Amino acid sequence: MRTDTLAAIDIGSNAICMMIQNIDNRDGLEEFKKVAFLRVPVRLGEDVFSKGKIGKRKGSRLSDALMGFAYLMKAYQVESFLAYATSAMRDAQNGRELIQAIHDSCGIHIQIISGMKEAEIILEAGGLCAVDDPSANYLFMDVGGGSTEVIIHSRHTNVEAHSFQIGTVRMLSGAVNPAEQIHFTQWLEEACRTYAPLSIIGSGGNINKAYKLVGKQGREPVNYIELRMLHETLRSMSYEERMLNYRLNAYRADVIVPALELYVTAARILKAENIFVPKVGLVDGMIHHLYTTRYENRGKHP
């Protein structure tokens, strides 16, 4: 049996996440085992979407978090890792400068990826395995802090994809361009005309939390009405009431409302009755992508 220890770091607009996994390969059968997961709610998007760049305070927090991640990867004897930065770093005027400083201080090389690359990598984590009928039509939707990525999967093939500059932190900051919101709505309406009926596959921390709040488990989908009612209830509460009544963390109690607004809007326009939640994200896809790439470089296939 061969065991690979790999890591993935996601530098998002809302939080910085790291996952470390052991992948056991026994006679061609792989088992992915999560051994560590850390999340630091730095919220780079708060600076970028209001000021255009990452300020000194948040830049320092980012550097500190990545320095800690570097030490943890050394302690876990990580053999290889990927570090991807998404919407906030894409938009930040000083993003490249900060990336170079982090590389010089702790040796972590950060790649800024496009929204489409982000969606494709997430799909590599196997989110489509959560659906009962892979031959049907689905809208894969990942809501992040700075952007929302969507892919239409129709009869075993990804047929359309788009990245919208709409995300939870961007919405809370009042930094969403009204034209982008209209584009998002029109794109969904066209998708409904072309591919209906559609179900939604949701990805990200907010939809994962909503899944738990409505009492779902396993592969059971969330019904549109259940999700809409949860959104209306949370929206009617204050930030403090959400933390108290739903035991939400401080970094989740605000962003969950705009996230659910996007999912509810999509489900309403698409007339989608169900939202499937495979509970995978960018770091899961990055691990799978890194594992597959390592085997290809060895001249093997997992």
What pLDDT does residue 302 have? Answer: 38
What residue segments make up the domains of the chain, in order of their start? 2-115+283-297, 130-279
Provide the residue type at 193 as one letter.
Answer: R
Region 54-79: mean pLDDT is: 96
Region 203-232: mean pLDDT is: 93
How far apart (Å, rounded) are the C-alpha atoms in residues 119 and 257? 22
What pLDDT does residue 21 have? Answer: 96
What pLDDT does residue 301 have? Answer: 42
The three-state (H, E, C) secondary structure of the chain, written as one string: CEEEEEEEEEECCCCEEEEEEEEEEECCEEEEEEEEEEEECCCHHHHHHHHCCCCHHHHHHHHHHHHHHHHHHHHCCCCEEEEEECHHHHHCCCHHHHHHHHHHHHCCCCEECCHHHHHHHHHCCCHHHHCCCCCCEEEEEEECCCCEEEEEEECCEEEEEEEECCCHHHHHCCCCCHHHHHHHHHHHHHHHHHHCCCEEEEECHHHHHHHHHCCCCCCCCEEHHHHHHHHHHHHHCCHHHHHHHHCCCCCCCCCHHHHHHHHHHHHHHHCCCEEECCCCCHHHHHHHHHHHHHHHHCCCCC
Is residue 106 within 8 Å of residue 4, measured between CB atoms?
A: no
How far apart (Å, rounded) are the C-alpha atoms in residues 272 and 139? 9
pLDDT bin (cut points 50, 70, 90) of residue 211 is very high
Least confident range of 49-53, 215-219, 229-233? 215-219
* pLDDT top residue among 175 and 301: 175
Is residue 274 within 8 Å of residue 224, measured between CB atoms?
A: yes
Digit-coded pLDDT (tens) for 270-302: 999 999 998 888 999 999 999 988 766 655 443
Region 229-241: mean pLDDT is: 97
Using DSSP bridges, classify how beta strands 137-143 and 148-154 pair: parallel, antiparallel or unpaired: antiparallel
- What tokens does 184 get? 């998002």
Digit-coded pLDDT (tens) for 139-166: 999 999 999 999 998 877 778 889 999 9
Indicate whether 136 pLDDT > 90. Answer: no
Cis peptide before 258, with omega less than 30 degrees from 0? no
User: Does 130-279 match 2-115+283-297 at the fold level?
Assistant: yes
Question: Which residue has 């990826």 as its token pair?
Answer: 113
pLDDT bin (cut points 50, 70, 90) of residue 127 is low
What pLDDT does residue 72 have? Answer: 97
pLDDT bin (cut points 50, 70, 90) of residue 132 is low
Secondary-structure class of domain 2-115+283-297 per CATH: alpha beta
What pLDDT does residue 215 have? Answer: 92
- Number of Cβ atoms within 10 Å of the Cβ of 292: 13
What pLDDT does residue 31 have? Answer: 87
Across all residues in the chain, what is the average pLDDT? 91
Region 86-112: mean pLDDT is: 94
Nearest to 182 by CA among 164, 167, 194, 197: 164
- What tokens does 123 get? 């799909």
Indicate whether 193 pLDDT > 90. Answer: yes
Domain at 130-279: CATH code: 3.30.420.150
138, β-bridge pairs: 153, 199
* CA dihedral for 95, 101, 104, 108, sign (positive or negative): negative
Q: What is the percent of the chain with per-residue pLDDT over 90, rounded to a whole number?
A: 75
Region 92-119: mean pLDDT is: 92
